[in-house]
Amino acid sequence: MITVENLTKRYGGFTAVDDISFEVRPGSVVGFLGPNGAGKSTAMRMMTGLTPPTSGRATILGQTYRELHNPGRQVGVMLDASAQHPGRTGREVLRVAAVSVGVSKSRVEEVLALVGLTDEEAGRRVRNYSLGMRQRLGIAAALLGEPQVLVLDEPANGLDPQGIHWMRGLLRRFADGGGTVLLSSHLLHEVQIVADDLVMIGRGRIVAMGSKEELLARGGTTVQSTDDARLARLLEAADVPVSRTGSGLVVDAEARVVGELAARESVVLLELRSGGSEGLEEMFLGLTAATSREGDAA
Amino acid sequence: MSTDTTRSAAPAVGGGTGDAPTATALEGRPGVPFARTFRAELRKMVDTRAGRWMVIVMAAVSVLILAGFVIWGPAEDASFHGLLELSTLPLALLLPIIGIMAATAEWSQRTGLVTFVLEPRRGRVVVAKALAALVLAAVVLAAAVAASAVANVVGGTGEWDLTAATGGGLTLALLIFTLQGVAFGLLFLNTPVAIVSVLVLPTVWSIASMAVSSLEDAARWLNLDLVTQPLFAGEMAGRDWAQLATSSAVWVLLPLAVGTYRVLHREVK
């Protein structure tokens, strides 16, 4: 369980994390989603005791990180997969951590197998690792002490689509066993695959939070027909807000409303589904545009 | 320990059912037992190519100097003490670098993100690093002693003239220099800057104190190179100890204190 209460971090006049509160319960995989510079990493560093918060606090399993007994056995943390000494082999990185955490060498081999690093790869120096392999090594290090909680910053970054699905399976199994997972990402489609619940953050503030389905449902109903223009006119006439997308319409109403109207007016529907990712995508892009440097360049 | 009565006001996300298993923290004192932190830090100093070669090169330089001296040097000076003095000469310069590398690696390679997550009490990591550097220095020194002994038997005078005072003084001096390396490493948290400072600053200070006569008196109390000379020679008198103490305080303890403060309060990124 991770509890974040009114966590705030200010650097001079700049507020990196602005009064965020949420709680991640056991059994869930929560995606911490936001554009670059939204404050995800700063928040995660505060949760793990690396950055002192300006105000507020974060606890893991009911204790602040610094109070935890042998934190490596309780919380698996990966904050930057690239932050490894390039001269160490992957296996050595884990063995050093194993000494500190107090687990056996055989556990090192276990986690290597778990993340799919072969014997040959484990013997290679980290300098020669691809980003995807570093991510796997970082996950292995996080899992080393058989923790109950995982805090992972951008774990899917650099993984291929197959790797992202592998990670979903891994984290799902972890959560099903009673574990708590908080992972960050700046890619919506990535976090959609891996996480079940989302906390969206922009400019240091939480802008939306809830289960994926809930947030997706806010995106309204996606509909496509043989005559979108007519359908749009009919919906507008019925006082239902409609917006056009590249491949159809997004309607701010339940799928049932749209379906009934189409049946009455004999419009041939090609697609009708609620909870398309378009709405969420739009919200996320709005968030990104507001915080990104695109505006300055334009 | 949070129970339902103290449940926070933070909005929950995920696993929303009230009867989800409540995970609790492990019982026990915060952090990790010191012995494990120490073992991990010691291991990190020699498990990279750079670290391992540093130790090998230092041992090799000592051996080479000894071999050269035994072959070409004046035979009458090749007593055990003479040989040991010679073989430890490069160590005074190289051992601080071991200390520096121990202190700076977490920041230059950003491995601190892992180290300080496994042991959030950073002060203990600093102590473990200092201790590990001293242990490694002692190992290198032991190698130099062994090499000197062999050289003495093979090509020296065969004279075993090392007194407890000189042996102890030599060991103490080298450990002080190693600790100075740790201190400068912690102070700058940057390997090249720390190495340059540890080599250049004392030299600049020596030159300055020689050039400016008003600094001469101060230098006698504050020049680590100067005050360790009687220590190496095993001729420490009362005032020498006082001078060693003041110099060590300024060149070792002060940067060690400031550097430790930096590490404790710095944001790990």
| Residue A136 lies inside a defined structural domain of this protein | yes
**Chain B CB contacts of A178 below 8 Å:** 21, 23
Tens of pLDDT, residues B29-41: 899 999 999 999 9
Q: Which of A9-18, A208-217, B190-199 has the lowest mean pLDDT?
A: A208-217
CA distance B242 to B226: 13
CA distance B119 to A48: 11
Strands A14-24 and B12-13: parallel
**Chain B CB contacts of A67 below 8 Å:** 30
Of A190, A210, A230, the last residue of a domain is A210
Pseudo-torsion of CA B6, B8, B12, B15, nearest 10°?
A: -30
DSSP string of A177-237, one letter each residue:
TT-EEEEEES-HHHHHHH-SEEEEEETTEEEEEEEHHHHHHTT-EEEEES-HHHHHHHHHH
Identify the band that residue B4 occupies on the pLDDT scale cut at 50, 70 and 90. very low
Q: Are residues A20 and A150 in the same domain?
A: yes
Would the CA dihedral through A124, B55, B136, B122 be positive or negative? negative
Strands A149-152 and A75-78: parallel
CA distance B268 to chain A (A): 5
Of A175, A210, A245, the last residue of a domain is A210
Strands A221-225 and A248-251: antiparallel
| Partner-chain contact B40 A70, CB within 8 Å | no
Q: Are residues A138 and A181 in the same domain?
A: yes
| Residue A15 lies inside a defined structural domain of this protein | yes
Nearest-CA residue of chain B relative to A47? B117
- Tokens read off for B14: 């995920």
- Tokens read off for A200: 């969206």
Q: What pLDDT, on a 0 to 100 scale, did the predictor assign at position A297?
A: 38
CA distance A175 to chain B (A): 9
Q: What pLDDT, on a 0 to 100 scale, did the predictor assign at position B1?
A: 41
Tens of pLDDT, residues B90-119: 888 889 998 998 899 899 889 999 999 999
CA distance A189 to A193: 6
pTM: 0.86
Nearest-CA residue of chain A relative to B37? A100
Q: Which residue has the higher pLDDT, B167 or B22?
A: B167
| Segment (H or E) for B250 | none
Q: Are residues A82 and A191 in the same domain?
A: yes
Tens of pLDDT, residues B212-241: 888 888 888 888 888 888 888 888 888 899
Identify the band that residue A289 occupies on the pLDDT scale cut at 50, 70 and 90. low
Tens of pLDDT, residues B71-92: 888 878 788 988 998 888 888 8
CA distance B7 to chain A (A): 10
Q: Per-residue pLDDT for A240 more than 50?
A: yes
Helix boundaries (H) for chain A? 40-47, 90-101, 105-114, 119-122, 131-143, 161-176, 188-194, 212-217, 228-237, 255-265, 277-291, 294-297
Q: Determine contact, residues A14/A26, Cβ cutoff 8 Å.
A: no
Q: Determine contact, residues B30/B120, Cβ cutoff 8 Å.
A: yes
Give the nearest partner residue to B111 out of A59, A69, A84, using CB atoms.
A84
Cβ neighbours of residue B163 under 8 Å, at least 6 residues apart?
B81, B234
CA distance B220 to B148: 31
Longest alpha-carbon distance in chain A = 71
Q: What pLDDT, on a 0 to 100 scale, did the predictor assign at position B254?
A: 96
Q: Determine contact, residues A53/A11, Cβ cutoff 8 Å.
A: no
Q: Determine contact, residues A90/B38, Cβ cutoff 8 Å.
A: no
| 3-state SS assignment for residue B36 | helix
Strands A55-60 and A29-33: unpaired
Tens of pLDDT, residues A134-188: 999 999 999 999 999 999 999 998 888 899 999 999 999 999 999 999 999 988 8
Q: What is the number of helices (H) and of strands (E) in chain B?
A: 12, 1
- How high is the ipTM of this complex? 0.86
Q: Are residues A172 and A229 in the same domain?
A: no
Nearest CA among B209, B207, B198, B203 for reference residue B176 = B198
**Chain B CB contacts of A45 below 8 Å:** 267-269
CA distance B246 to B252: 10
Q: Are residues A162 and A261 in the same domain?
A: no
- Chains A–B, number of C-beta pairs less than 8 Å apart: 182
| Residue A135 lies inside a defined structural domain of this protein | yes
Q: What percent of chain A has a predicted confidence (pLDDT) above 90?
A: 59
Q: How many domains does chain A have?
A: 2
Q: Are residues A227 and A99 in the same domain?
A: no
| 3-state SS assignment for residue A242 | strand
Q: What percent of chain A has a predicted confidence (pLDDT) above 70?
A: 93
Mean pLDDT (whole number) for A85-101: 95
Mean pLDDT (whole number) for A62-87: 94
| Partner-chain contact A21 B9, CB within 8 Å | yes
| Residue A295 lies inside a defined structural domain of this protein | no
Phi, psi at residue A125, to the nearest 5°? -75, 145
- What are residue A9's DSSP bridge partners? A17
Identify the band that residue A275 occupies on the pLDDT scale cut at 50, 70 and 90. low
Tell me whether residue B25 is exposed, middle or buried, using C-beta atoms within 10 angstroms of its C-beta: 0 to 12, 13 to 18, 19 or more: buried
Q: Which residue has the higher pLDDT, A114 or A190?
A: A114
| Residue A285 lies inside a defined structural domain of this protein | no
Find which of A10, A85, A180 to mutate to test the B interface (most B CBs within 10 Å of its CB): A85
| Residue A184 lies inside a defined structural domain of this protein | yes
CA B83 remoteness from chain centre: 24
DSSP state of A54: S
CA distance B221 to B242: 8
Identify the band that residue B7 occupies on the pLDDT scale cut at 50, 70 and 90. very low
Q: Are residues A135 and A26 in the same domain?
A: yes
Tell me the CATH number at A204: 3.40.50.300
Q: What pLDDT, on a 0 to 100 scale, did the predictor assign at position B8?
A: 53
CA distance A294 to A55: 31
Q: What pLDDT, on a 0 to 100 scale, did the predictor assign at position B141?
A: 92
CA distance B176 to chain A (A): 27
Q: What type of residue is B205?
A: W
Tens of pLDDT, residues B141-192: 999 999 999 999 888 888 888 888 889 999 999 999 999 999 999 999 999 9
Angle between helices B122-155 and B164-188 (to 10 degrees): 140
Q: Are residues A80 and A103 in the same domain?
A: yes
| Residue A106 lies inside a defined structural domain of this protein | yes
Mean pLDDT (whole number) for A76-96: 94
Query: What is the pLDDT of chain A when averaged over all its residues?
Result: 89
Identify the band that residue A58 occupies on the pLDDT scale cut at 50, 70 and 90. very high
Q: What pLDDT, on a 0 to 100 scale, did the predictor assign at position A291?
A: 54
A55-60 β-sheet, strand order: A55-60, A2-11, A14-24, B12-13
Q: Are residues A203 and A228 in the same domain?
A: no
Q: Are residues A53 and A106 in the same domain?
A: yes
Q: What pLDDT, on a 0 to 100 scale, did the predictor assign at position A176?
A: 93
Q: Determine contact, residues B227/B240, Cβ cutoff 8 Å.
A: yes
Q: Determine contact, residues B177/B94, Cβ cutoff 8 Å.
A: no
Q: What pLDDT, on a 0 to 100 scale, did the predictor assign at position B6?
A: 42
Residue A270 belongs to domain spanning: 220-274
Q: Are residues A152 and A224 in the same domain?
A: no
Q: Are residues A140 and A263 in the same domain?
A: no
